[in-house]
């Protein structure tokens, strides 16, 4: 895949540590010749994100970004654009729901828990897409992608309010694809099967979910972050020139099954 992103730049939001799906995407983009900027949510996570950046080739600028803070959204997008000389690709790999809202019944989700899950996991894509749009327009187009999960389409016990927020995220992808498409900006989602990351550990019953999925996938195997990164690279590149408004499943085929 060498050269697929030669001369392209990407802002990648959602690296927590080296096991993050976003870290695998950063590795794949860098190997394809892309120049990158990363973000970290707060000082607690800055060191781990810096380690991921240090392992990448070249100078990888880092920007603080809590996606609930409009000023930080502005600063991260403009900082990345200045540092890289523009942004061609935006990767959004951010999600959060309070543990208390994932433990019980979805029916008992609190008003505040519902709001926070949607703000961090879905609205943040809209907020970042709007900011990156003029920068991509100036470069003749671009590619925006986000990460979602089957719990948006089906009820997955334990995924609860996060599934409803992911449904909002997937709908946002389609509306953004329409709004930004006139300027040549593509917007897509990757629906990943279970990958063992920090966020996944916060989902109650993740292990049994992953085991059940492995037994029932057409390919009879787990996926890993590198599998997702391959599809992200495709979506970032000219290979996906006319692909937008799409949710692509990278789940060894599990979504196609009825049991």
Active site residue 123: no
Q: How is residue 95 annotated by DSSP?
A: -
Q: Decide if residue 94 touches ligand NAP (CB under 6 A).
A: yes
Spatial separation of the C-alpha atoms in residues 6 and 45, rounded to whole Å: 29
Closest among 11, 84, 23 to 56, alpha carbons compared: 23
Angle at 197 between CA 9 and CA 204, to 5 degrees: 140
Based on the number of CB atoms within 10 Å of its own CB, is 76 exposed (0-12), middle (13-18) or buried (19 or more)? buried
Exactly one of 195, 213, 236, 240 binds ligand NAP (CB under 6 A); which one? 195
Contacts 24+ apart (CB under 8 A), 126-130: 126/172, 126/176, 127/67, 127/70, 127/73, 128/13, 128/67, 128/73, 128/77, 128/90, 128/92, 129/90, 129/176, 129/180, 129/187
Out of 40, 123, 149, 234, pick the active-site residue: 149
Q: Which residue, 149 or 237, has its beta carbon nearer to ligand NAP?
A: 149
- What is the contact mask toward ligand NAP in residues 112 to 151, using x (rule: CB under 6 A)? --------x--------------------------xxx--
Q: Decide if residue 41 touches ligand NAP (CB under 6 A).
A: yes
Judged by CB under 6 A, the stretch of 12-20, 178-186, 214-222, 239-247 that binds ligand NAP is 12-20
Exactly one of 200, 204, 216, 245 binds ligand NAP (CB under 6 A); which one? 200
CB atoms within 10 A of CB 201: 10
Active site residue 149: yes
**In whole angstroms, how close is the CB of 3 to ligand NAP at the nearest point?**
26
- What is the contact mask toward ligand NAP in residues 17 to 36, using x (rule: CB under 6 A)? ---xxx--------------
Q: Which residue, 142 or 194, has its beta carbon nearer to ligand NAP?
A: 194
Write out the residues near ligand NAP by the rule CB under 6 A: 14-16, 20-22, 41, 45, 65-68, 93-96, 120, 147-149, 192, 194-195, 197-200
Return the active site residues: 149, 159
């Amino acid at each position: 895949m060498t050269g697929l992103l030669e001369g392209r730049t990407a802002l990648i939001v959602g690296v927590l540590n080296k096991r993050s799906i976003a870290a695998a995407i950063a590795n794949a983009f860098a190997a394809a010749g892309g120049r990158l900027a990363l973000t970290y949510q707060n000082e607690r996570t800055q060191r781990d994100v810096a380690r991921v950046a240090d392992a990448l080739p070249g100078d990888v600028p880092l920007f603080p970004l809590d996606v609930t803070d409009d000023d930080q959204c502005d600063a991260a997008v403009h900082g990345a654009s200045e540092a890289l000389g523009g942004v061609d690709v935006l990767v959004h790999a951010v999600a959060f729901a309070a543990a208390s809202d994932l433990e019980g019944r979805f029916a008992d989700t609190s008003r505040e828990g519902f709001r926070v899950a949607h703000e961090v996991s879905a609205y943040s894509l809209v907020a970042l897409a709007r900011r990156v749009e003029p920068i991509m327009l100036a470069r003749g187009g671009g590619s925006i992608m986000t990460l979602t999960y089957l719990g948006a389409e089906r009820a997955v016990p334990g995924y609860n309010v996060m599934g409803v927020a992911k449904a909002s995220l997937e709908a946002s992808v389609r509306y953004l694809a329409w709004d930004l498409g006139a300027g040549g900006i593509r917007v897509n989602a990757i629906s990943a099967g279970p990958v063992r990351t920090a966020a996944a550990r916060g989902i109650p019953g993740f292990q049994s979910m992953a085991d059940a999925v492995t037994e029932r996938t057409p390919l009879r195997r787990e996926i890993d972050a590198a599998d997702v990164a391959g599809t992200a690279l495709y979506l970032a590149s000219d290979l996906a020139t006319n692909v937008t408004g799409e949710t692509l499943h990278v789940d060894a085929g599990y979504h196609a099954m009825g049991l």
